[in-house]
Chains A and B, each alone.
Chain A
Amino acid sequence: MVTGAPVSEEERILSSSASIEELLAAITEIREEDALAVVDDLLANGTEPQAVIESCRKAMTIIGQRFEAGDAFIPELIMAGEIMTGISAKVKPHLSSSHGTGGVGRVVLGTVKGDIHDIGKDIVGSILEASGFDVLDLGVDVAPERFVDAVRGEGVCTIALSCLLTTGFDSMKATVAAIEGAGLRPQARIMVGGAPITEDVCAYTGADGWGDDAATALRLAAEWADRGAS
């Protein structure tokens, strides 16, 4: 486009919608510098921050789908998350304070007591967040009672328990029992996840579902959110 002359409203919208496409491409192709530069341009051109956020969400959905299809991998997920963080820092000053994200459903997430592995949990968290879930991440080495407290406070639909060590199986079982014991089972479904999790482990812990990758976690959470809503 020739610059210098003032542009009409129509041209401004056209150019900005082209850039939104560019943003989507830059994120999904994991071009960090380009993505951040496009966001700078968009915001300088007066693009609604909401449109930037929407584009980010769309990009994360695409990356999530690629991950599920085996065409994207942990580096893409982590790096896309990193790009999101960078964009978020740029967009935030332009947002009104009341703006919220999420809305698809609530998830309480954590690595169970005795286990401090966080990579799998973090990936699940960022995929769920990017797919519109409100995620409360309790961190690692989370005791059953902390899950119970969080579920009580959140009105949660899904609880996601993570572990990498087989030692975590008993913690998962104890956590499921604690949630059940607190009478919170009816309002929430519990998934257990991590590399060593199998159907046997799921049965052992008493959880409602299981997965050994982030894509499965997302599919389960979405299914449960749909069922909860219907």
Chain B
Amino acid sequence: MIEPTNSAAPPDHAQSDDLFAGWETLGWRERRERRIARWLEAGDIEFADESVRAAYRERVQLIVDAVDLKKPARVPLVPQMGFYPARYGGLTVKESMYDYDALASAWRRYHEDFLPDVQADPGLPGAAFDLIDSKFISWPGHGTEDDTPWQYVESEYMRPEEYDALIADPSAYFMRVLLPRFAKGFEPLAALDPFTDFVEAATLPYGLIPFADPAVVEAIERLAEAGRATQEFLKAMGEMSTDVAARLGLPVPFSGLVKAPYDVLADTLRGTRGIVMDRYRRPEKILAAAERLVPLQIDAGVRQVAAAESPFMFIPLHKGADGFMSDADFREFYWPTLKALVQGLIAEGIVPVLFAEGGYNERLSVIADDEIPLASVVWWFDATDMAAAKRALGGYACICGNVPGALLAVGTAARVETYVSELLDAIAPGGGFMLGTGTVVDDATPETLRAMLETGRAWRG
């Protein structure tokens, strides 16, 4: 096993926070232990009583043990929720995106009634998207019905001839070119000079002139308003989350989200069709751009973890799934930069959770890469043969999954129970496994979801 190298410099706050004391001298495992110790300690949470504190710690420990490929006291139950808690609470998607108090009470109720081992993701504030006048998603009232989840609007937001501009200066390219295409509220930012111009007193004042442009002033006010809307959302959801941790002992599983560099291009910038054209017309640009994005995604991960308790970083994987490209292309275009991202996060003591949406059956031999340290990541599968996944990754990386969203939506409790029992009997013995949903759940019935969780809770291998 090759150990990831430690980064040359500790994060900025190294001096002020014990977590980072001597950070540059620590290996990835020690860094991770520090972060996990902080998570277990839960210093910011005022637990209702000691039994809740113990329950919280037990849950964190179940997850940590699974990642360490140990046999946890029981299988951790980690369903991923989309809009199901809203539906369960009687809210439409629209209500859940705009009425934050209603959203928070629906989420409270979901946690109380189902008692999973982790909290559900909190959803999104609709007002923020309203205020920036977003073009890159459709959401209730803006292209979708009141009870339909928000969805990405895929497009070639980045033009094929713009790869060089992205590669030369990603931040300037995002601010001046891409963001104005994502949302009307960002359009005036196109007038700003790149901040890297600000290197000499003699020219600096001139770089400030665009900030006096009334359109820029208005845009910044509008963005501030969108930021305040998000704060308001976070206040309601943060209180809910703290309450759920303090009263029920449920930890927040993820500190944030980063993306595979190829997916940044294929999902967000160029779209599925665009990236395919590029694969044939300018393959070298895809490779160079993906490489350019690696340190940016690592940095985004490090900053998100710094602001959270959990050291787990969610990485949803999309355009490298079975069928989306050949094995040769996966090895050339997808895996090297994803691997570099994963290694970079591990080096910082972060646990990457790779959520392989769709099928990953053809990828198992590639992702079982011995340059990724033992027991350092979680592979979360959807439509992948879990027995094959265990053969490829068992004893090497924690695996998680894969109760199908369709089964939860239209199946019966009995069928879910059978599915989960068979899954656990086949995959969970020996540990290194977490019971998760294959997809983010928007649709289920209380009966099917309960069947999944209770079968998992009762299982002893």
A and B: bona fide binding partners: yes
Q: A32-B281, A195-B358 are in contact. Are A166 and B409 (CB under 8 A)?
A: yes
Find the B residue at minimum CB distance from A214: B323
Interface of A is mostly: loop
CA distance A79 to B274 in the complex (A): 10
Report whether A116 and B276 are in contact in the complex, using a CB–CB cutoff of 8 Å: no
> Does A30 interact with chain B (Cβ within 8 Å)?
yes
Report whether B148 and A74 are in contact in the complex, using a CB–CB cutoff of 8 Å: no
Give every chain B residue within 8 A of A119 (Cβ-Cβ): 154, 272-273
> Does B429 interact with chain A (Cβ within 8 Å)?
no
Give every chain A residue within 8 A of B410 (Cβ-Cβ): 169, 200-201, 203-204
Report whether A78 and B151 are in contact in the complex, using a CB–CB cutoff of 8 Å: no
Report whether A75 and B411 are in contact in the complex, using a CB–CB cutoff of 8 Å: no
Give every chain A residue within 8 A of B144 (Cβ-Cβ): 114, 116, 141
> Does A185 interact with chain B (Cβ within 8 Å)?
no
Report whether B280 and A30 are in contact in the complex, using a CB–CB cutoff of 8 Å: yes
Report whether B151 and A115 are in contact in the complex, using a CB–CB cutoff of 8 Å: yes
Find the A residue at minimum CB distance from B412: A200
Report whether B280 and A166 are in contact in the complex, using a CB–CB cutoff of 8 Å: no
Contact with A along B169-212 (1 / 0, CB 8 A): 00000000000000000000000000000000000000000000
A74 is contacted by which of B277, B324, B383 (Cβ under 8 Å)?
A: B324
> Does A82 interact with chain B (Cβ within 8 Å)?
yes
Contact with B along A82-118 (1 / 0, CB 8 A): 1000000000000000000000000000000111111
Report whether B324 and A165 are in contact in the complex, using a CB–CB cutoff of 8 Å: no
Contact with A along B420-461 (1 / 0, CB 8 A): 000000000000000000010111000000000000000000
Give every chain B residue within 8 A of A165 (Cβ-Cβ): 148-149, 151, 442
Report whether B272 and A167 are in contact in the complex, using a CB–CB cutoff of 8 Å: no
Contact with B along A147-172 (1 / 0, CB 8 A): 00000000000000000011101000
Report whether B405 and A196 are in contact in the complex, using a CB–CB cutoff of 8 Å: yes
Report whether A32 and B151 are in contact in the complex, using a CB–CB cutoff of 8 Å: no
> Does B407 interact with chain A (Cβ within 8 Å)?
yes
Give every chain B residue within 8 A of A78 (Cβ-Cβ): 272-273, 276
> Does B138 interact with chain A (Cβ within 8 Å)?
yes
> Does B70 interact with chain A (Cβ within 8 Å)?
no
Give every chain A residue within 8 A of B276 (Cβ-Cβ): 74-75, 78-79, 82
Report whether B442 and A79 are in contact in the complex, using a CB–CB cutoff of 8 Å: no
Q: A75-B325, A79-B276, A169-B443 are in contact. Are A198 and B404 (CB under 8 A)?
A: yes
A167 is contacted by which of B279, B362, B407, B443 (Cβ under 8 Å)?
A: B443
Number of interface residues of A (CB under 8 A): 31
Give every chain A residue within 8 A of B148 (Cβ-Cβ): 114-115, 165, 167
CA distance A197 to B406 in the complex (A): 7
Report whether B406 and A196 are in contact in the complex, using a CB–CB cutoff of 8 Å: yes
> Does A137 interact with chain B (Cβ within 8 Å)?
no
Report whether A116 and B325 are in contact in the complex, using a CB–CB cutoff of 8 Å: no
Find the B residue at minimum CB distance from A82: B277
Report whether A116 and B151 are in contact in the complex, using a CB–CB cutoff of 8 Å: yes
Q: A74-B272, A79-B277, A119-B272 are in contact. Are A167 and B406 (CB under 8 A)?
A: no
Contact with A along B123-155 (1 / 0, CB 8 A): 000000000000000100001110111010110
A200 to chain B, nearest CB (A): 5
> Does B15 interact with chain A (Cβ within 8 Å)?
no
Interface residues of A in 57-79 (CB under 8 A from B): 70, 73-75, 78-79
Give every chain A residue within 8 A of B272 (Cβ-Cβ): 74, 78, 119
CA distance A212 to B147 in the complex (A): 25
B325 to chain A, nearest CB (A): 5
> Does A22 interact with chain B (Cβ within 8 Å)?
no
CA distance A59 to B373 in the complex (A): 45
CA distance A78 to B281 in the complex (A): 13
> Does B326 interact with chain A (Cβ within 8 Å)?
yes
CA distance A82 to B275 in the complex (A): 13
CA distance A169 to B445 in the complex (A): 14
Find the A residue at minimum CB distance from B327: A73
Find the B residue at minimum CB distance from A30: B280
Show the binding face of A for B, using Cβ within 8 Å.
30, 32, 70, 73-75, 78-79, 82, 113-119, 141, 165-167, 169, 195-198, 200-201, 203-204, 212-213
Closest 10 pairs (CB-CB, A-B): A204-B410, A114-B148, A166-B443, A78-B276, A166-B409, A75-B276, A198-B406, A196-B406, A166-B405, A119-B272
Q: List 11 A-B contacts (CB under 8 A).
A: A32-B280, A75-B276, A79-B277, A165-B151, A166-B443, A195-B383, A196-B404, A198-B404, A200-B410, A200-B411, A201-B409
Show the binding face of B for A, using Cβ within 8 Å.
138, 143-145, 147-149, 151, 153-154, 272-273, 276-277, 279-281, 323-326, 329, 358, 362, 383, 404-407, 409-411, 415, 439, 441-443
> Contacts A79-B279, A119-B272 given; 10 further ones with Cβ under 8 A?
A73-B325, A73-B326, A78-B272, A114-B144, A114-B148, A165-B148, A166-B409, A166-B442, A196-B406, A200-B415
